[in-house]
Amino acid sequence: MKPLSIVILTALVSLTCWATSAQQENDDAIIDTYISRQAGREGGEEYREARKVVQGDLTHDGVPETVVLYTIESQRGSNLYVQYLAVFARHNGKLSPFTHLEVGGKSVRSVELKSIDTNSILLDTLTYGPKDPQCCPSVKGATKYVLVGRALRE
């Protein structure tokens, strides 16, 4: 390969990496703002370490959606928490909220986002057995959600 070709190739790779990084930072900021506003409305805060993000095409348009599982806790000083599943779609290159739904929480069930497969959002679940305390559901399971119009359906 000629030296000029190497320089051009290196510049293109660097530019692509920078653009991808900038888009990811912008996407993260949009998601952060969305969750922060909801947490404010609930008088709680996000348990950021529990956030999980996956991508996949749920709307059959060839453009992957971003799916986020997040947890808001300590609503108005309580020891509760609620888990939400949100879908963000890309319009004109920019991520925007599409829909969201409460999917778990204290005394309900615990969910863990696994992946998107065949247009379904796959989650592992832990539900409460008859002798489980509120902190610790123990019955393993799984569920999936699909988009029906602009709504998530289990």
Here the tokens at position 28 are 């993260």
What's the CA gap between 10 and 73, in Å, rounded? 46
Q: Number of folded domains in the chain?
A: 1
Here the tokens at position 107 are 């005394």
Q: Which of 5-9, 60-64, 95-99, 115-119 is the least confident region?
A: 5-9
Whether the predicted pLDDT of 109 surpasses 70: yes
- Strand-pairing partners, residue 146, are 153
Q: What pTM value is reported for the model?
A: 0.84
Here the tokens at position 79 are 């020891």
Whether the predicted pLDDT of 15 surpasses 80: no
Taking only Cα atoms into account, the Rg of the chain, rounded to an integer number of angstroms, comes to 19
Phi-psi category of residue 142: left, alpha or beta, with phi > 0 → left and psi -120 to 50 → alpha = beta
Q: Is the separation of the CB atoms in 38 and 60 below 8 Å?
A: no
Task: Find the domain containing 95 and state its range.
Answer: 3-153
Whether the predicted pLDDT of 85 surpasses 70: yes
pLDDT tens column, 70-80:
999 999 988 89
Question: Mean pLDDT over residues 97-108, rounded?
Answer: 95
